Every structure is written in C-alpha cells, then in structure tokens.
Chain A
Amino acid sequence: MARDDRPLSPDLQIYRPQLTSVLSITHRLTGIALSIGSPLLVCWLIAAAAGPATYATLHGFLASWLGLLLLLGWTFSFFFHLCNGIRHLFWDAGYGFDLQTIYASGWAVVAISIGLTLSAWVISVGMKG
C-alpha cells in the first residue's frame, strides 16, 4: 500500500489552543490587517496633497461608522503588533525563553495593547477641535 494512501493524523482540528500559538497567530493576523490598512495611509497622504476637497471626502468616510470601526480595528492591530513585536525582538536577542517569562510577557502584551487602544481612543475623542 503506497504511503500517501494512509490517513494524516489531525492537527489544527484537535490541538489545544495555548497562549503560545494564539498570540503567535494573532501577531500574524494583526500584521496582515495592518498591511491591508497601509494603502489607506498612502491614500490619505495623496488626498492631503490633492487638496481640501479630496481630503474632506476621505475624512468623511473615516468619520463614518464603518470608517471608525476600521480605525478601531487598526488601532488594536497596531498596538498588539507593536507590543508583541517588541516581545519578538527580545527573543531574537536571546532573552525571555523560559516558560514563566513567555507566559508573563504574553499576558502583559495582551493587557498593554488593549489598554493602549482604549487610551488612544479616549484621548482622541477628548481632544479639542
């Protein structure tokens, strides 16, 4: 019987989600979300260069409920990817590989990124126009 006929044992379907794998895939998903948002950053600069009318149209979209929802998503994606990215850089330098530090830093990243997202939005809303 050829080897490829045998069944493949399950992986994603049965493996337990753990802080390690969940934060890692979230880092990837937030990175992809930010990549999707980056053309918008360029559009925003181009709109600003094009003049007040074009800029106002873009600003109108961003101030709509959909725009605000997207901005909230991108804010969280940004802060999470930033905090977890710093955690990654410590690993690349060789630090923080014992399980206790992996878990403590992981939870810290979750807490800090949620905190920064909320702070950013509260402060933005409170800014004087």
Chain B
Amino acid sequence: MARKQTRSSFDRTQGLGSAREGVGHWWMQRVTALALIPLTLWFAASLIARAKDDYGAFILWLRNPFTSVSMVLLLIALFYHMALGLQVVVEDYVHTDRIKMPTVVVIHLGCFALAAAGIIATLRIAFGR
C-alpha cells in the first residue's frame, strides 16, 4: 500500500533545512590531499629503492629521524583523508540512518585507532628497543 504523499514536493525538498556547514569536511579533504602528495611519493620512492633490503637495513632506515617524522606525518594525513573519503562513500550509498550513522562513527574511530597504532609502532622503532 503506497503511503499517501501529504507533504508538498517543495516541503520534502526543503527537508530539515540547510545544515549551513560542509565546507570544513571539503577543505580538510583537500588539505590532507595536498599533504599526501609529497608524503606518499616519498614513501613509494623509498619502498622501491629499498625493495630488496633486509630487516636490519629496513630498521636502520626507520630509525633515521627524517624517516620517522615523515612516517608519522604520512600516517596522520593518510588516515584523516581516508576517514573523510570513506564517510562520503557511505553517505552516498547508505540511506537508512540506523545503519549509516554507526558506520560513519566506526570509520572515524577505526581510522584514528589505525593511525595511533601505526604512530606508536613507528616511535617504538625510532626510539630503539
């Protein structure tokens, strides 16, 4: 049985009104993207150059302060960009609120946790055993 449409088209278009925000998310996505260009290129180039390194050489490279700092910056920018991006994907395709809202929360918390884990691992290597 189709529900009766008692609200006008215009009223349904209005919805709950404009949220009057959205530029923050848009801006940070672009800022993290800009940061990720040099950071990921550095990371990819390093991986390619060290494709055949053994464990010792790899740890030595990670202990280098420039490497540690860059790695931490990479993890922050990467997981922030990823959280924002995945949030947009979920909002695009999931329309039932009781699934969408928790999923977005899990995405943000998960990315934060991954970033924290990665940073702590990097620092543990950097400051030696």
Which segment, of B14-22, B97-105, B117-125, faces chain A? B117-125
**Contact residues in A for B34 (Cβ distance below 8 Å):** 89
**A123 pairs with B33, CB closer than 8 A:** no
Of all chain B residues, the one with the shortest Cβ separation from A59 is B55
Q: Tell me how far the C-beta of A107 lies from the nearest C-beta in chain B, rounded to whole angstroms.
A: 21
| Contact flags B1-15 to A (C-beta < 8 A → 1, else 0) | 011110000000000
Max chain B Cβ within 10 angstroms of own Cβ: one of A4, A41, A129:
A41
Among B36, B54, B121, B125, max chain A CB count under 10 A is at B121
Please report whether the interface of chain B is mostly helix, strand, loop or mixed according to DSSP. Answer: helix
| Cβ-defined contact, A35 with B85, below 8 A | yes
For B49, what are the chain A residues with a Cβ–Cβ distance below 8 Å? 127
The contact of B4 among A2, A38, A89, by CB within 8 Å, is A2
Q: Contacts of A55 on B, CB cut-off 8 Å?
A: 55, 58
- Asked if B121 contacts A49 (CB within 8 A), the reply is yes
Q: With contacts A2-B2, A46-B121, A86-B37 known, is A123 near B52, CB below 8 A?
A: no
Q: Is the CB of A49 within 8 A of B124?
A: yes
Size range of the chain A interface in the assembly: 20 to 34
B88 → A minimal CB distance (Å): 9
Q: Is B82 an interface residue (CB 8 A)?
A: yes
Q: Which of B36, B51, B89, B125 contacts A49 (CB 8 A)?
A: B125
A residues less than 8 Å from B48 (CB atoms): 120, 123-124, 127
B residues sitting closer than 8 Å to A (CB atoms) are 2-5, 30, 33-34, 36-37, 40-41, 44, 47-55, 58-59, 62, 71, 75, 78-79, 82, 85-86, 89, 114, 117-118, 121-122, 124-125
- Tell me the A residues contacting B by CB distance below 8 Å: 2-5, 28, 31-32, 34-35, 38-39, 41-42, 45-46, 48-49, 52, 55-56, 78, 82, 85-86, 88-89, 92, 120, 123-125, 127-129
